[in-house]
Structure 1
Amino acid sequence: MNDRTWLTQLEATLTQEHETQTARLTQLTADTGDPAEAHTNAALIAATRHSLEQISAALRRMAAGSYGSCERCGTAIARERLEILPHARFCVPCQQKLNG
């Protein structure tokens, strides 16, 4: 599959995942009235919001034409990495440096 086809399919997948996560967030923020679920729901809401932020940022990079380039060094992020972690902002060496 060529890069353009792959990128188009990835964008469609990310868009669908964004819609799914948005629906999930709507469900999680509905007040169930059960105080026992409040802590669990708060953690799920935070994780869902983080996921939405990552997906949105990846979609913005796609629209801007900067998707797939490391934000730190500017080199291309390996396609294999993007297939596993489509919202990756850094190449592996830069991510390792950031993680210490």
Structure 2
Amino acid sequence: MSERTDSHDQQWISELEATLHHEFAAQTARLTELTADTGDPGEAHTNAALIAATRLSLDQIAGALRRLTAGGYGRCERCGTDIPRERLEILPHARFCVPCQQKQNG
């Protein structure tokens, strides 16, 4: 989303940023709950997987927020082209356009 001054796009970015901050807080609370020791060894494996997934989600959200702040949000980190807004609406933490993501996944 490079150098966009359209008020509709700015409103969308503001709403997205608020949503990402809200999701970050929710995932942080979830991580706190998951890391609380329940004393049940049967839950350890499940909790480990949930903790890993939650940490990944937090990293992705934090990365999107950093790109928003730095002005690089919405640009592919590999080729530098704009990532289509439709992709960002579905996957707000997307770092790559679809062709580059496919190359990344190999």
* Bucket of the pairwise TM-score, normalised by the shorter protein: over 0.9
TM-score (ref. length: structure 2): 0.92
The structural deviation recorded for 1:43 is 0.3
Instruction: Please provide the CA RMSD for this pair.
Output: 0.9
TM-score (ref. length: structure 1): 0.98
2:73 pairs, out of 67, 74, 96, with 67
1:56 pairs, out of 58, 62, 66, with 62
Structure 2 matches for 1:1-100, cutoff 5 A? Answer: 2-100=8-106
Counterpart residue identity of residue 32, structure 1: T
Q: Which has the higher contact order (CA 8 A, sep 6+)?
A: 2
Uncovered stretches (5+) of structure 2, i.e. residues with no partner: 1-6
Q: Matched residues, percent identical?
A: 75
The structural deviation recorded for 1:2 is 1.1
Uncovered stretches (5+) of structure 1, i.e. residues with no partner: none
Runs of 4 or more off by more than 3 Å in structure 1? Answer: none
Q: Separation in 2 of the partners of 1:68 and 1:8? A: 14
Structure 1 residues 29-69: Cα deviation after superposition (integer angstroms, max 9, x where no partner): 00000000000000000000000000000000000000000
Number of residue pairs the alignment of both structures matches: 100
